[in-house]
Amino acid sequence: MTTPQCYTLDDLVSRETLDAGSAKPARLAVIGCPVAFSASPRMHQPALDADGHHARYIRLEVQPGQVPLAFSRMRALGFIGCNVTVPHKLDALKNCDEVHPDAQVLGAVNTVRFDADATRGFNTDGPGFAHAIQNDFGLPLARLNVAIVGAGGGAGQAIAAQCVLLGAAKLILINRTMEKLGPLVERLATLGFPTEIIPLGFSDGSLARHCRACDLIVNTSSVGLNAGDPSILPADCLLPCHCVYDTIYQPPETPLLMLSQVVGCRRSNGLSMLLHQGALAYQHWFPKTHPLAVMRTALGLAQS
């Protein structure tokens, strides 16, 4: 019997159903919608195997609104924890018993640990992003002018907060729904850092001007995941001096990255962020471990 590429909540009814045909029990997962594209098992399973854990890491498709049920069923089956991807990072924060102060500041949860006494939430997106930008472009976030596209989502909020915490000079927050940016701007202002924060909608006439004044442009939206998606930004927002980072890694060449190549920008996709946030997440489940090298090899990334 072959195991499925992607599981659903219907598979979490019993160990017999979930682990049928598998030599190891599923004890960790990435939850999302869609989640079949996720490369997380590709790096977490080799790390588990290298450390001698008798456990599988699976993809779990969870529909919007079903995060509480997913957490309940995973706890009942003895899961160690899970990673959380689009669109559940804000719901994950709301459904943890305890949230680490760093995750509270970053405004989303992407890593969950099911302890005996509580469901605990963490965020490794922010620091994982900072490591990725340093590794891919040789740039610290300090003093950069950064534009974040899709800033209203869980990843966008975490990255925005990380930029402020690390001393970015200016932050352009771009989102289709402007109402989502108001609470984010207020929360970032309470951090007490001098970063200039400018919220913009896609229809704002100053969008291109503000983007062109940035050093780093980051797409944290889901635009680019699906075939036929347009570039999230038009060409007049980009200059050859820009570094462009798309947190999407599947497909590896999104419309934004293809446009960036035409313009002549330095560019990178989200596989490096996946690596670094994943290694940090693994350490929340298994403290004092060092999975980065194994994960990097599993993802086929060169040593930086």
> Over the stretch 119-175, which tens digit does the pLDDT of each residue have?
999 999 999 999 999 999 999 999 999 999 999 999 999 999 999 999 999 999 999
User: Mean of the per-residue pLDDT values for the chain?
Assistant: 96
Q: Which residues contact 118 (CB under 8 A, 6 or more apart)?
A: 96, 97, 98
pLDDT, tens digit, 9 for 90 and up, residues 200-222: 999 999 999 999 999 999 999 99
**Cβ atoms 274, 40 nearer than 8 A:** yes
What confidence tier does 302 reach under pLDDT thresholds 50, 70, 90?
A: confident
Q: Which helix (H) or strand (E) holds 18?
A: helix 15-18
Which residues are designated catalytic? 89
Strand (E) positions, the chain?
Answer: 7-8, 26-32, 56-61, 81-84, 98-99, 111-114, 119-122, 145-149, 170-174, 196-200, 216-219, 243-246, 266-269
Inter-helix orientation angle 271-285/292-299, to 10°: 140
Identify the band that residue 2 occupies on the pLDDT scale cut at 50, 70 and 90.
low
Interior/surface letters 280-298, b for 16+ CB within 10 angstroms, e for the rest: bbbbbbbeeeebbebbbeb
The label of the residue with tokens 């036929």 reads 228
Residue 190 scores a pLDDT above 80: yes
Two structure tokens written together for 40: 């997380």
User: From edge to edge, which strands make up the β-sheet containing 266-269?
Assistant: 196-200, 170-174, 145-149, 216-219, 243-246, 266-269
Higher per-residue pLDDT: 301 or 257: 257
pLDDT band with cut points at 50, 70 and 90 for residue 304: low
What mean pLDDT comes out for the span 62-84?
98
The 3-state DSSP class for residue 23 equals: coil
The stretch 59-83 carries a mean pLDDT of 98
pLDDT band at 109 (very low <50, low <70, confident <90, very high): very high
Residues whose CB is less than 8 angstroms from the CB of residue 56 and which lie 6 or more positions away in sequence, other chains included: 19, 22, 24, 25, 26, 27, 28, 45, 48
Check: CB of residue 128 under 8 Å from CB of residue 114.
Answer: no
Q: Residue 3 pLDDT more than 90?
A: no
pLDDT tens per residue across span 249-286: 999 999 999 999 999 999 999 999 999 999 999 999 99
Using alpha carbons, select from 71, 45, 73, 58 the residue that is nearest to residue 4: 58
Q: Is the pLDDT of residue 226 over 80?
A: yes
**Hey, what are 279's tokens?**
């290694």
- DSSP secondary structure, 131-199, as one string: HHHHHHH---STT-EEEEETTTSHHHHHHHHHHHHTT-SEEEEE-S-GGGHHHHHHHHHTT----EEEE
What is the per-residue pLDDT across 13-59, written as a single tens digit (0 to 9) for each? 999 999 999 999 999 999 999 999 999 999 999 999 999 999 999 99
Structural domains in the chain, CATH included, are: 7-123+273-299 (3.40.50.10860), 126-269 (3.40.50.720)
Exposure string for 61-83, b = 16+ CB within 10 A, e = fewer: bbeeebbeebbebbeebebbbbb
What pLDDT, on the 0 to 100 scale, is given for residue 4? Answer: 79
What residues have CB less than 8 Å from 304, skipping those under 6 apart?
Answer: 135, 136
Dihedral angle over CA of 60, 226, 43, 102, nearest 10: -80
Assess contact for 285 and 47: CB atoms under 8 A: no
Is residue 78 scored above 80 in pLDDT? yes
